[in-house]
Structure formats: structure tokens, C-alpha cells
Structure 1
Amino acid sequence: MQASTPWRIRHLGLALALALSLAPALAQQTSSPFNAPVRFIVPYPPGGPTDLTARTFADKIARTIGQPVVIENKPGAQGVPAVRQLLQMPADCHAMYFGTLSTQVVSHVINEFRKQPAPYDARKDLVPVSVLGGSPLAIVASKKSGITTYKQLVDALKAQPGKLNYGSDGVASLTHLGGEMLNQAAGTQSLHIPYKGTAEFSQALLAGDIQFAVSGIVAAVNLSKQDRINVLAIAGPKRSDQLPNVPTTAELGVPGVDLTSWFAVFMREGTPKACVDAMSQAIVKASQDPDVVQRMTAVGIELGMSNTPEQFARQMEGDFRKWHKVVEQAGIQFEK
């Protein structure tokens, strides 16, 4: 016996309602460009703050894209081995690289002045995806110097041109170039003394062998809490959550002294834009996760810097111009 028309209409309506309710989920599944695990290549060894940042974000990104994100550590040579590995992979959605201001901008600017170009072009071979976060540098002074404010530092530099020493963790490092930027902004001169790493120049600061330095925020926070150094300013756009009473260079009216080191994701050139955009959106979502915010703040990394691929590309171009100008004006003598 054939079913009545009202019965068929009723069940057709139920089927249509079910299909409509499932449509968004089905569309999300079919529209996602990720259909395999994603390899996240990190140019630093396991255990450090960069590795921690990558792993923290990888977990949240994996949940958003519905695929595992596998960390691969490929340390050494300012990220070159890691980038080479990325460039050997297919230009699809399933490989990305963790870059920093130092590896992707500063080292390339330095190589230009050394006439030793890197084996890849940071602007052409990689596609900027999004910034994960940033870590501002701090301007610090030795307790033995008697300098307690940024103004006192500038006054001392102007009163004794070329007489005060500042330390860094190596020639052409971000801490070295940060000191040069500070001198250029203030119109002062000081003597740069390079050391072999942060620990060594921190000891020199404590001993009074150097009067000031531009330091990573983690070291500055640790030594400040022990009351062993004076933190004069945060060289970034906002105050540090861990040093809330220390003013920024912007607040002090110092133009152009922004020494925020960013951490970001790149994909290889030729990767479909749908992949780049989807990963960028996943990073933005991860950076807003309370657990990510808490874990990153604990190691001195500020969030809220995530941006679109287009915004990040413009930011990088600005960084290249800025650091090229700093190095050029500093007249650094590089080893041949």
C-alpha cells in the first residue's frame, strides 16, 4: 500500500532539516585544506623558550585544524638547516617553519654587509604566515654604575662620549645592535664589548665591567628580582607584565627604539594561499587561548601580536629597512 502524501511530506521535511543541521560541519570538514599531519620545523634544540613556544602553539593549532602538529627540531646556523629542510618538502599545507626576528631579518641584513648571502632568500623563498608573539628587550644598568633611570644613562653617555661600556652576547647579535640603536636615538657614543653569550655578559654587568646593556627580558627579570641590576626601560610598545613599574621607551619619549624580537610561522613559497590563510587563522585563535597566554607570559613572551599574512609581510619589510639602517650607521667592522 502506497504511503500517504502527508506522511511523505512530513518525513521529507525531517530529512531536509537533518541535512541542513549537518551542512556546516560537513562543509568545515570538506573545506579544510589540512588532510595529513603538519610538520613544524624549529631551528632550536628541545627544551628552550623557542621550543616551548612552538610546542605550546602546536597543541592548540592541532585542535583547530583537526590534524596532529609534529615538532621537528633542526638547530644551528641561524635557522639555515631548518629552512633547507622545509624547502625540500612539497609546497602544500603540511609543513611550516618557526622563524624569529634574528633568524629571518637581522642575520640576513648582517650577511648583506658581510657580502656572504644566506643560501636562501628570506623574502622570496618563504611566505610569512603570522606572528606567534614577541619578547621585548630591556635596557639595564649595572648597580655599580649608579645609573637608575634611562635619563641618567643618556646624561652619563653625553657627559662622557665613548667612555661608558656596554656588553652584548656577540658581534651583530640583537643585543649588540640594540645598543647601537640606543646610541643612534640618543645621539651618544659608547664602547661595545662582545661576550660569548648572555650568561657571560650578565656576569660582566654584575661585576661592573660594563655599565649598561640591552638584555633579553627573561635575564633582566631574573636579575632585577634579585636586586642585582637596574632595569631602566622596556624597549617595546607596552610594559612587561613581569616588570610593570618599568616604563617603555615610547613612554619616555624615545622615538624609534623598539627592540621587540618576534616569533613567527612561515611556509615555503608556492604553498596555496588557502593553506597560509587557514594556518594564520589557527595561530590567531591559539594566541587567544588562556592557557597559551599564561604559559607564554611566564617565559616573557607577549601575545596579541598575531596578524594576517599580508600584515606580517609588511612588518618584515619595515624590519629589514630598520635594521639595515642601524647596521649601516653603526659602521660595524665584521670579521672577514
Structure 2
Amino acid sequence: MKRRTLLQAGAAAAWPLMHAGGARAEAGYPSKPVRILVPYTTGQSADLFGRMVAIELGKLWPQQVFIDNKGGGASIPGMLAGRNAVPDGYTLTVGGSGPMAINPGFYGKKLPYDPLADFIPVHGLFLSPLVVLANPSAGIDSFRQLVESAKRKPGAEKWGVAGLGTSPHLAGELIKAKAQIDVVAVPYRGSGVMLSDLLGGQVTLGVDTVSAAISYVRSGQLKALAVTSAKRVPQLPDVPTVAESGFPGVEAVGWAGFLLPLHTPPAVVAAAEQGIHRVMSDPAIQEAMTQRGALPDLRGGGAFGAFVKAEVPKWTELIVANGIKVDQ
């Protein structure tokens, strides 16, 4: 094994031990403006919730905290900018499920960064639960009915997803693998277009985020068959999980959290973690996230790092085992 591979393997094994742990927070941090690098375009969940935290951090710390969007390119350019930042605590990166856990499965050794070896986990930001949807015209009232229909007519059922390689797409693939059904994924250029066709009946099933679909579910325009989270979500308390519907092992959520570059001093990591945790513990911030369909993630660097460490092989194995491809 080459020296670089050995170093990467060692760093991955150490995740999340690389977080600040019991390190004493640096008293003088921050002493200058802090950049939060978001590897997504404006308006996406990581940007929206990252801005919420940035505003409150700017009030908590006696320094400006600003968002720097570097979207596009499957988030790779933004992640590289975060990895290559000076490891002094003044560039935080919002790493999400796409660039952190999904890209390794699609790009393999071609991915120019290592989500585990190149970053230090600092704190969670949000979880974005997903929901399986049906147009009322489909005549499907439960997730179990969907599975039964798909088993009777393999390949006949189709569900819309917001793009290939996205969390909704891969959640659907995980469901198919666990329930042993054949449902065709119909990719759209974004959630809005997919939901428009789902509402119009051009496609009768869909998988999307709770935040995108909740208004249509509450109005009765769409039926929520099941959520893909481990537990029911507060926004849709009457909708069962896929596991409750008889198919354990399905847990799929979009997510994001804060990272710092490798070699950032532990005392600086601890100071950043403490500041973010204070903001995330504010009931007003939690309520704002919940109202927008997300779940605030209050996990510190250790717990958040452990979660990410489990997510990377989970999605990589699904992608490779099922030969899932996206345009690269």
C-alpha cells in the first residue's frame, strides 16, 4: 500500500477521533472575520440554514461571519476550496450528504478529495427527511400497497426524483434494494419540475424532501406514503416510516454539517464547535429549521463524525452494488 493510501486509511479510521474532543477552546478565537464556505448555489438547504447560523454566530462572536457560495461541479470545487483553506479556523465548510457520502461512490479514486481524510468534523447542521409520495389518482394509499403493486408489475411503476445521484434518487434505490422491487426512477431537473408533473399526473409516484412536498401533502394534493427517516418526523407525525411499513433497514436522509481543514489546531476546533452549538441550541433556530421541513442537528464533532463515517460506505456500497451511474 502506498504511503498516501496508508495515511488516508489511518485518517479515515481516526474519524471522528480527530474532532476537538476534550480540547480547551482557544480564548481569542475568532479574532478576524470567519468565512463559511458553502459548496452549493444560493437557495439550497445548506445555504439557507448555513446563513441562519452565520447570522447568529456574527452576533455571538465579535467578528463578521459571512457565507461564500462555491456551487456547481457536483460540489467538488467548493469542497476543494475548503480542503485547501489555511487550517486556522477561519474557513468553515458546510459538507453535505452529496459531496461527503455520495460522491465517493460515483467518482471513486477520481474524486480529488477524501471526505474523511481531508476534514475535521465540527458540528452537525441539519437533517432533511425524505418522503415517498403518490398522486391520489394512482389509487395507492400506503407504502405496502406500493410494494405489492410493484411486485405484481415489475418495472411498470415509475417515480419521479429530483435528478440522478441526489438524496431522493438514492433513497429510492435503497428502498428498491431492501423491498426487492423494480420501480423505474424518472429524473427531473430539480424538485419543482418533478412535483409539478406529480401534481399533474404525468408521473404518479415520487420521492422528495419533506420540505419540498409538505405543503402539497397538507393540502391533500399529494399522499405521503412513508418517510425514509429512522423515526417519524414532526412535520408529518401521522406518516409512518418505511421500516414501520414492514421494511426495516431503510434509513435515508439528506444532511449537512460543519467541517474544518485537516491540521486545524484542536483548541480552535473546540472554539468553533462551542460557538456553533450555542447557536444550534437556540429554540428559535430549531423552530425556523423545523418550519422549513428540516431537523436541526445538535450533534457535536464526535457524534457527527461517527454518523458521516457510517454514511460513506453505506452509499458507496449501494451505488457500486447496483451499478448506479450519473453523467460525469
**Normalised TM-score (structure 2):** 0.86
Whole-Å separation in 2 of the counterparts to 1:101 and 1:59: 23
Whole-Å separation in 2 of the counterparts to 1:185 and 1:320: 18
Q: Does 1:225 align with 2:204?
A: no
Shift of 1:270: 0.9
> Is residue 156–residue 183 contact of structure 2 (8 Å, CA) maintained in 1?
yes
> Is residue 280–residue 307 contact of structure 1 (8 Å, CA) maintained in 2?
no
Match of 1:44 among 40, 43, 48: 40
Whole-Å separation in 2 of the counterparts to 1:260 and 1:230: 19
Shift of 1:251: 3.1
> Is residue 33–residue 90 contact of structure 2 (8 Å, CA) maintained in 1?
yes
Unaligned segments of structure 1, at least 5 residues:
1-27
- Paired residue type of 1:98: V
Report the counterpart of residue 317 of structure 1 in structure 2.
Answer: 309
Q: Once the two structures are superposed, what CA deviation does each residue of 1:192-217 show, in whole Å capped at 9, x if it has no partner?
A: 22222212222332233333221111
Q: Please give the secondary structure, in 2, of the residue aligned with 1:236.
A: coil
> Is residue 104–residue 316 contact of structure 2 (8 Å, CA) maintained in 1?
no
Tell me: CA distance 1:162–1:30, structure 2 relative to 1, closer, same or farther (3 Å): closer
Tell me: CA distance 1:221–1:334, structure 2 relative to 1, closer, same or farther (3 Å): closer
Tell me: CA distance 1:208–1:274, structure 2 relative to 1, closer, same or farther (3 Å): same
Q: Does 1:158 align with 2:151?
A: yes
- Paired residue type of 1:59: I
Q: Please give the secondary structure, in 2, of the residue aligned with 1:193.
A: strand
- Paired residue type of 1:81: P
Match of 1:269 among 247, 253, 262: 262
Aligned residues: 305
Whole-Å separation in 2 of the counterparts to 1:29 and 1:200: 46
Shift of 1:291: 1.5
Shift of 1:52: 2.0
Q: In percent, how many aligned pairs have the same letter?
A: 30
Farther off after superposition, 262-271 or 187-196: 187-196
Q: Once the two structures are superposed, what CA deviation does each residue of 1:227-282 show, in whole Å capped at 9, x if it has no partner?
A: 22110111112323222221222333421211111121111111111122222222
Match of 1:61 among 54, 57, 61: 57
Shift of 1:187: 1.3
> Is residue 158–residue 185 contact of structure 2 (8 Å, CA) maintained in 1?
yes
CA RMSD of aligned residues (A): 2.2
Shift of 1:57: 0.8
Report the counterpart of residue 174 of structure 2 in structure 1.
Answer: 181
> Is residue 185–residue 257 contact of structure 1 (8 Å, CA) maintained in 2?
yes
> Is residue 44–residue 51 contact of structure 1 (8 Å, CA) maintained in 2?
yes
Shift of 1:134: 0.7
Shift of 1:318: 0.8
- Paired residue type of 2:46: T
Match of 2:119 among 121, 126, 132: 126
> Is residue 96–residue 265 contact of structure 1 (8 Å, CA) maintained in 2?
yes
Q: Does 1:301 align with 2:297?
A: no
More helix by share: 1
Report the counterpart of residue 244 of structure 1 in structure 2.
Answer: 237
Q: Does 1:98 align with 2:94?
A: yes
Whole-Å separation in 1 of the counterparts to 2:206 and 2:58: 39
> Is residue 25–residue 268 contact of structure 2 (8 Å, CA) maintained in 1?
no
Q: Where in structure 2 are the equivalents of 1:108-127 lying within 5 Å? A: 108-112=104-108, 117-127=110-120
Unaligned segments of structure 2, at least 5 residues:
1-23
> Is residue 164–residue 210 contact of structure 1 (8 Å, CA) maintained in 2?
no
Whole-Å separation in 2 of the counterparts to 1:276 and 1:37: 16
Q: Where in structure 2 are the equivalents of 1:256-295 lying within 5 Å? A: 256-295=249-288
Q: Please give the secondary structure, in 2, of the residue aligned with 1:31.
A: coil
- Paired residue type of 2:236: L
Report the counterpart of residue 197 of structure 2 in structure 1.
Answer: 204
- Paired residue type of 1:313: G
Q: Please give the secondary structure, in 2, of the residue aligned with 1:161.
A: coil
Q: Please give the secondary structure, in 1, of the residue aligned with 2:295.
A: coil
> Is residue 38–residue 68 contact of structure 1 (8 Å, CA) maintained in 2?
yes
Q: Where in structure 2 are the equivalents of 1:22-37 lying within 5 Å? A: 31-37=27-33
Match of 1:73 among 53, 69, 72: 69
Tell me: CA distance 1:30–1:255, structure 2 relative to 1, closer, same or farther (3 Å): closer
Whole-Å separation in 1 of the counterparts to 2:41 and 2:156: 38
Select the structure of larger CA radius of gyration: 1
- Paired residue type of 2:121: P
> Is residue 218–residue 300 contact of structure 1 (8 Å, CA) maintained in 2?
yes
- Work out which structure has the larger RCO, using CA pairs closer than 8 Å and 6 or more positions apart in sequence: 2
Whole-Å separation in 2 of the counterparts to 1:223 and 1:280: 37
Report the counterpart of residue 16 of structure 2 in structure 1.
Answer: none
Q: Once the two structures are superposed, what CA deviation does each residue of 1:276-325 show, in whole Å capped at 9, x if it has no partner?
A: 2222222222121022012111211112x322323222211210111122
Tell me: CA distance 1:326–1:151, structure 2 relative to 1, closer, same or farther (3 Å): same
Report the counterpart of residue 140 of structure 1 in structure 2.
Answer: 133
